[in-house]
Structure 1
């Protein structure tokens, strides 16, 4: 099986009203557990939750090829083309592996984007000790599941088809610098001194994008959905406190 798992349909859900906010989940892109977050955000935004592999839309258990970051970002671009009025732009929240896709989306398709928040994208290869950090990360997650069970659940898909190619992804620093006013790297306050936090902070420094702390750790969106949503909404509205590297000013100017 080659190319995207489904060439004819992109899977997403829409809730709420207001400016469009595209949410790209982490892991294998399955939006499980994100309902409290999207419910909190839907009071202020039209929340479009992208499911890149369709795992929450009837495709769980079907064969999945090894993923490429650009497949996810191209799919996200198609979703935005489908939901946005002509000439309009969207906010984007990408978390973990979804944050990597969000970075690629900004680098490749900035025209439809008002602002991108990438929360702890594990592009650990940007770190000075990136090769070792990636090995340690993969080791901590364990080996991929058996071929028989690899597509049986979202974690199996993540371990067997997503984590290795996504953590090997190298961001496009020049393209991100060109759109730094539309980029915020984010990390959880509970992740300080951990590789995901260091990665986000270093990438913000290298691209000139903003940096912001969010409640919780790597899974802050699941563990603290209401506080996470409030932090995100304030940041996107240009009213959030604690933005670094000019993120709040950038948002007010866009």
Structure 2
């Protein structure tokens, strides 16, 4: 059993194309990056603390989210840009090829990194990437995504979240939904939501990986699915990716947000996967 590291995270900033990335470093040992989209570094803090007992752990706010401001707020946040950001972060740290765990849109970022910069990463653990382009009903899902974005742009952000959760096949009790998405929004929360719906969601879910490039890159790719995600949209997209790459999906604790909901169990499973590399 590993205890969480007692060493505080060191917060730093890196200038990249059109943005200033906030990132945090914990621990010492082999480098593991934990990345999300639109989730920021704080979403991975508990997991990072556990892994920092014997790893150097990198977390970051993706461009345009929270503490990572961008020069042009209307420039879309594409997987290619976010993958390049990760490559620049890893090169800046000069810690050799890394393991990168990406979850949700962060898994798409991690795959874009492996596709374009395979020398920077020896293992990608793609936890529930929303690769809608890989499923048969992609056009229906894309149309739903446009309705989600339109609802937000029309001023109905709670309605956009309700549509988003319905599309993802994720059920949330009414009181939990109200707590998470009802009422007044903090300014940063509102800004991050707008960034996600207006400039990130469409480009993330419409990205199609170059499967031949991923197969030939030499990077180990692990496709992660939550044990409680059966039948959800990201379970389907993840299984489609695993089939396309000829690998078996790897089951992790929890559902789409298992890394945050149960970081202890998730860290244990992640250590097992790291030990297999």
In structure 2, which of residues 110, 122, 126 is the aligned counterpart of residue 114 of structure 1?
122
1:76 corresponds to 2:86: yes
Given that residues 37 and 62 in structure 2 are in contact (C-alpha distance below 8 angstroms), is that contact kept between their aligned partners in structure 1? no
Given that residues 63 and 151 in structure 1 are in contact (C-alpha distance below 8 angstroms), is that contact kept between their aligned partners in structure 2? no
Which residue of the partner structure matches residue 60 of structure 2?
50
The structure with more radius of gyration: 2
In structure 2, which of residues 192, 212, 218 is the aligned counterpart of residue 154 of structure 1?
192
1:10 corresponds to 2:21: yes
What's the TM-score, normalizing by structure 1?
A: 0.81
RMSD: 2.7
- Cα 1:70–1:181 shift into 2, 3 Å: closer
Which residue of the partner structure matches residue 225 of structure 1?
263
- Looking at structure 2, the residues matched to 155 and 15 of structure 1 have their Cα atoms a distance apart, in angstroms, of 27
**1:87-166 to 2 correspondences below 5 Å:** 88-137=96-145, 139=147, 143-145=151-153, 152-166=190-204
Given that residues 144 and 150 in structure 1 are in contact (C-alpha distance below 8 angstroms), is that contact kept between their aligned partners in structure 2? no
Runs of 5+ in structure 1 lacking a partner?
239-250
- Looking at structure 2, the residues matched to 144 and 232 of structure 1 have their Cα atoms a distance apart, in angstroms, of 35
What's the TM-score, normalizing by structure 2?
A: 0.75
Which residue of the partner structure matches residue 174 of structure 1?
212
Runs of 5+ in structure 2 lacking a partner?
1-14, 156-186
Deviation at 1:89, TM superposition (A): 1.1
- Cα 1:216–1:151 shift into 2, 3 Å: closer
CA shift digits 1:180-208 (9 cap, x unpaired): 66001111111111221111112111112
- Looking at structure 2, the residues matched to 54 and 161 of structure 1 have their Cα atoms a distance apart, in angstroms, of 9
**1:31-46 to 2 correspondences below 5 Å:** 31-46=41-56
- Cα 1:96–1:175 shift into 2, 3 Å: same
Deviation at 1:156, TM superposition (A): 2.5
- Cα 1:6–1:143 shift into 2, 3 Å: farther
- Looking at structure 2, the residues matched to 17 and 54 of structure 1 have their Cα atoms a distance apart, in angstroms, of 28
Which residue of the partner structure matches residue 200 of structure 1?
238
Deviation at 1:34, TM superposition (A): 2.2
- Cα 1:178–1:233 shift into 2, 3 Å: same
- Looking at structure 1, the residues matched to 68 and 209 of structure 2 have their Cα atoms a distance apart, in angstroms, of 31
- Looking at structure 2, the residues matched to 25 and 183 of structure 1 have their Cα atoms a distance apart, in angstroms, of 17
Deviation at 1:8, TM superposition (A): 6.2
